[in-house]
Amino acid sequence: MAATREIPVVWIQTATCSGCSVSVLNSASPKITDLLLSEVIPGRHINLRFQATVMAGSGEPVIEVLDAAAKGEPGTYVLVVEGSIPTKDGGIYGTLGEEPMVDRAIALAKNAMAVVGLGTCASFGGIFAAGPNPGGCISVGRLFEQEGIDTPLINIPGCPPHPDWFIGTIATVLVGGLEAVDVDELGRPTRFYGQLIHENCPRRAYFDEGKFAAHLSDEGCLYELGCKGTITHADCPLRRWNNGTNWVIGSGAPCNGCVEPEFPDLISPFYERLPEEALLVPRKES
C-alpha cells in the first residue's frame, strides 16, 4: 500500500476576529477532525503545524515552529493567512511571537509552496482595512506586490468564508495540485465564486417583475433594502449555510456582499440600495 503523504500546513492569524477559524471549524462534511486527523483524501493527510485557536501548545516552542518553517527547506508547506496585515509604523500594531505580523507573514510566505488568504480581510483588507484603517492593514495580495513575493496565492474571501470554500479548495490542491484550482482575476476559486448571488437567488423572479420588499422578511426582492447580490460572486444560494440549512436571503435579510473587494467601505451602508449604475445585471423597469 502506498505511504500516506503528509502536507504540512502553517496557519497564522494576523489582524482578524478569528471568525474565519470558527466558521471552518464548524465544517459538517467532512468534519474538521476528519480533515485534521484522518486522510481527507485517500493517501493525503494534512499536518497542521501551527494554528493558535486550536493548538494545545503555547509560548516559545510553538514560535519555534514558525521559525523552522520560514528558515527550512523552501516549498514544503502551505501557509494559511487569516486576517489582513498591519503595516503602519513598522507593523507594531500586530505582533506574533514578539515580532511584527508583517515580518512573520513575509518570511513564511516567501518560503511556502503556496499561500491561502482565508477570509475577506486576508483577501482584500476587509474589516481591518476599513477607513480610517489606523493600523495600515493591507491584504496578503497587496503585501505580495509590495515585497515582490511570487509564491502562488489563492484567495478564499467571505466574512466569514463558508467552510466548504476552504476545505473544498484544500482538497482540490491535495488531489490535483495548485494547477487544479481554477481562479478568477481576484484569485478566487471559480468553483465557489464563479456566479453572482443574483443569478441563483430564489427571489430573482421578483426582481425581474419589479416586486420589491418594503420591510425585512417581506416577500419580494430585497434590492431596495440594500441587497448586494447583484454584484456579489458566491454560491450561497445553492450551497447555503449551517450544513445546508439556510442562508441570509432565505431568512429574509439582504446579502452584504462580503466576498467582494469593496466590502465593507464601498458596499455600505448595508441597508441602503445600490445605485442602479452599479448593477451588473440590468434592472427591469417596474
Nearest distance from C-beta of residue 224 to ligand SF4, angstroms: 9
> How far is residue 251's CA from residue 150's CA, in Å, rounded to a whole number?
42
Nearer to ligand SF4, 99 or 224 (CB): 224
Is 274 a residue that touches ligand SF4 (CB under 6 A)?
no
How far is CA 183 from each of CA 12, 120, 158, 221, rounded to the nearest angstrom? 23, 16, 15, 30
Is 255 a residue that touches ligand SF4 (CB under 6 A)?
yes
Is 123 a residue that touches ligand SF4 (CB under 6 A)?
no
Q: How far is CA 234 from the centre of its chain?
A: 11
> How far is residue 58's CA from residue 147's CA, in Å, rounded to a whole number?
30
**Within positions 148 to 207, which residues make up the interface with ligand SF4, using CB under 6 A?**
158, 197-198, 201, 203-204, 207
Among 112, 121, 256, 267, the residue binding ligand SF4 under the rule CB under 6 A is 256
Peptide bond into 189 cis (omega under 30): no
Among 258, 261, 264, 267, the residue binding ligand SF4 under the rule CB under 6 A is 258
Q: Is the dihedral of CA 147, 12, 166, 263 positive or negative?
A: negative
Q: Mark out the alpha helices in the chain (DSSP H runs).
A: 19-25, 32-37, 60-71, 101-111, 120-124, 140-147, 163-176, 190-193, 197-200, 204-209, 236-239
* Residue window 204-223: x/- pattern of binding to ligand SF4, with contact defined by CB under 6 A: x--x-------------xxx
Nearer to ligand SF4, 4 or 251 (CB): 251
Among 230, 231, 264, 267, the residue binding ligand SF4 under the rule CB under 6 A is 230
Cell of 29: 462534511
Nearer to ligand SF4, 150 or 277 (CB): 277
Is 100 a residue that touches ligand SF4 (CB under 6 A)?
no
Which part of the chain contacts ligand SF4 (CB under 6 A), choosing from 35-43, 65-73, 98-106, 229-237? Answer: 229-237
Cell of 201: 437567488
Largest CA distance in the chain: 65
- Distant-in-sequence, close-in-space partners of 168: CB < 8 Å, separation ≥ 6: 189, 191, 192
In the complex, which residue's CB is closest to ligand SF4? 229
Is 227 a residue that touches ligand SF4 (CB under 6 A)?
yes
Interface residues with ligand SF4 (CB under 6 A)?
Answer: 158, 197-198, 201, 203-204, 207, 221-223, 227, 229-230, 232, 234, 236, 247-249, 255-259
